[in-house]
Amino acid sequence: MTRLLIVSDTHGNVGKLDDLIRKYDKQYEYLIHLGDRSYDILSLQENIGNLISVKGNIEGQSTGLSRDNTPYEVLVELDGVKVFVTHGHRYSVKSTLIFLKKQAKKLGANLVLFGHTHEKYLEIEDDIMYFNPGALTDNDYGYISLDNGEIVSIEHVYLSERW
């Protein structure tokens, strides 16, 4: 079983990201950050464990990450599931998912994780699951369990002030 903690759009909010990491206390195998992060991810990297991270549309805009070599997207295989990780801005996800879906099919992805819109989203189309956790700045994140090539569970979660 592989557990994924999914966050997006932290926008430098170290406190919320730290709260989330402490809440889960390593009860995940990977933290996946879908972009629009800044020094928040750098300051907490020691506590995170396995990190998969992509750039969003704000990295480089006074975030301290202008020379960061983090990719804009990545395709990884986790527990037999092909996961396409992107922020989404390069696919115009605020107005349409057509371009994102086309790329997901081209890559042979089973699961697509994206952010940028600050809105939670979950859809299955043509055996591909599309998931946006929402924005951690709004206390939204996601938790996914994978096992032997299957998506066992997927949920949108709200980080309460008093977890």
- Provide the residue range defining the domain that includes 17: 2-158
Domains held by the chain: number: 1
Whether residue 93 is contained in a domain is answered as yes
Positive or negative, the CA dihedral 137, 70, 20, 110 is positive
Q: What tokens does 134 get?
A: 């929402």
Q: Has residue 10 been placed in a domain?
A: yes
Average confidence score pLDDT of the chain:
89
CATH code of residue 85 = 3.60.21.10
Hunting for tokens 């990491």 — which residue is that? 21
Neighbour tally for 116: CB within 10 Å: 23
pLDDT given for residue 163 in this prediction = 44
Work out the percent of the chain whose per-residue pLDDT is above 70. Answer: 86
**25 Cβ neighbours under 8 A, 6+ residues apart:** none
Looking at the domain assignment, is residue 163 inside a domain? Answer: no
d(C-alpha 42, C-alpha 64), whole Å: 10
DSSP-derived letter for residue 61 is S
Please report the pLDDT score of residue 14 as a whole number.
81
- What was the pLDDT predicted at 18? 86
Q: In what order do the strands lie in the sheet with 30-33?
A: 51-53, 30-33, 2-7, 140-147, 150-158
Pairing of β 140-147 and β 120-125: unpaired
- Of 59, 64, 36, 32, the residue nearest 48 (C-alpha): 32
Give the pLDDT score at 26. 80
- Regions in the chain scoring below 50 on pLDDT: 62-63, 162-163
In a domain, 138, yes or no: yes
| CB distance 128 to 105 below 8 Å | yes
Q: Please check whether residue 57 lies inside any domain of the structure.
A: yes
